[in-house]
Amino acid sequence: MVALRDYPNHVEPPDPVPDRRLTGVHWWDPDRLRHLADLPRHCPACGAELTGDGGISVEYWEADHRVYHTWCRSCGWTGDIIRVHRMIGHEPD
């Protein structure tokens, strides 16, 4: 973050900050890397690569489950991929 104290409202936009994002080691890194490793890499329908500009996969949580909302650019498949650790019936949301 910029030092907000030094940021009066009425100024021209300062130069963009140099790229220093996502490069440092964070205390949450182990968890973050584990989640990144689980992201789907291929479309479940056509097998095309989802990385790069091939599509998108966004992880969100639904109770204990991790859901990957996914869109494939090649075939247009859109849907949720859910990572399941344990099968349980009649589970509330």
Partner 1 sequence: MLSKEQNEALTRVGPGTPMGELLRRYWYPVAFVRELDEWPIKKVRLLGEDFALWKTPQGGYGIMQERCPHRHASMVYGVVEEGGLRCGYHGWLFDCEGNCTDQPAEPEKSTFKDNVKAQAGKAQALGGMVWVYIGPDPAPELPRFDVYVDEGFKDVGHSMLPCNWLQIMENSVDPHHVEWLHGRYFQFVGEQKGFLAPPAFQKKHVKVGFDPMEWGILKRRVLEGQSEQDDDWAVGHPLVFPYCMRVGGAGIDQMQIRVPIDDTHTWALFYANHHPDGLDEYPDQVYPTDYEYQWIDDQGNFIVDYIEGQDVMAWVTQGDITDRTAEHIGKSDIGVVMLRRMFREQMALVAEGKDPTVGFTREPHDRIELPCEKNKFGAGVDFALAWLEMGSSRYSPALDILKKLHIQAAAARGELPGQHTVDTPGQ
Query: Does the CA dihedral 76-82-88-90 come out positive or negative?
Result: negative
Nearer to partner 1, 13 or 89 (CB): 13
Q: Which does 26 bind (CB under 5 to 8 A by kind): Zn ion, partner 1, none?
A: partner 1
Q: Does 56 bind Zn ion (CB under 5 A)?
A: no
What's the N-to-C CA distance of the chain in angstroms? 37
Distance CA 51, CA 24 (A): 22
- Residue among 33, 58, 75, 82 that touches Zn ion (CB under 5 A): 75
Q: Does 46 bind partner 1 (CB under 8 A)?
A: no
- Residue among 44, 47, 75, 78 that touches partner 1 (CB under 8 A): 78
Where is 32: in which H helix or E strand? helix 29-38
